[in-house]
Amino acid sequence: MKSIIAIANRRLFFRTETDGMLTVSLVFSVILVLGRMVATGERVFMFMVWNLFLAYVPYVLSVWLSQTPSWIKNRFLFAVIFLAWLLFIPNAFYILTDLYHLGWHFGVPLWYDLVLIGSCAWNGLLLGVLSVRQMEKIVQTYFFRKNELLFIYPIMFLNAFGVYIGRYLRFNSWNVITNPFGLISDILGIILHPIHNLLGWGMIICYSVFMTLIYLTIKRISKAIY
């Protein structure tokens, strides 16, 4: 019996209590998506499962990096993983904008879609906050110790920028490889023509401040509890 539990803990994402809760919460979201598909015969929210997977990638990278000190101490290897993490971390916070889909589709009660999308957004937010916190601790421990906002806000600003180009310009992390010139062209358009993109910059700034406040609040709450 103990060996079965050990295997489950090692292979089914129950390595720690936090990982266990995340796994249960993620499975709950996936069940809601599948339940809706069975009830309606439609696959309109199956993309949420993919979004959750993309949100899980940066969490896996930050956990793995925190457990591999040799890679952290090697500046080149750390830079490679950090850039990959930076590329994927907006996906975790992006799921919050999937709330836009609430009320667009029918076939189930509105409360069901609210729970479905809300649970996915919550999981994405948790994965994002935990991953950023792990990376913050790595940076502070091995590289420098300064005001936390000098690390957190730039990260959240880049997250907000990534969310904007994902939601409104319809790019994703893979387009860095599959469509780099189109991605760079649109990014330069936003940067070089800020007056023509006031609404976009407004969204980016508001979202970055909102995510920073969420992160700092959760961080302070965790310190108050423990």
Query: Within a domain: residue 15?
Result: no
16 in a domain, yes or no?
Answer: no
Mean pLDDT of the chain: 86
Which of residues 106 and 167 earns the better pLDDT score?
A: 167
Q: In this structure, is residue 4 part of a structural domain?
A: no
Is residue 5 a part of any domain in this protein? no
Per-residue pLDDT tens over the stretch 164-185: 998 888 777 778 788 888 888 8
| Mean of pLDDT values over 90-112 | 88
Radius of gyration of the chain (CA): 19
If you count them, how many residues does the chain have? 226
Could you list the residue range(s) of the whole structural domain that residue 27 is in?
Answer: 23-225
- As a whole number of angstroms, the distance between CA 157 and CA 25 comes to 27
- Residue 125 domain flag: yes
pTM higher than 0.75, yes or no? yes
Within a domain: residue 6? Answer: no
Domain assignment present for residue 141? The answer is: yes
- Other Cβ atoms closer than 10 A to 216: 16
Burial of 162 (0-12, 13-18, 19+ CB in 10 A): buried
- Total domains in the chain come to 1
Looking at residue 151, its amino acid is F
Residue-wise pLDDT for 120-144, tens only, equals 999 999 999 999 999 999 988 776 6
Q: Does any domain span residue 18?
A: no
Tell me how far CA of residue 213 lies from CA of 88, 137, 138, 217, in angstroms.
21, 18, 21, 6
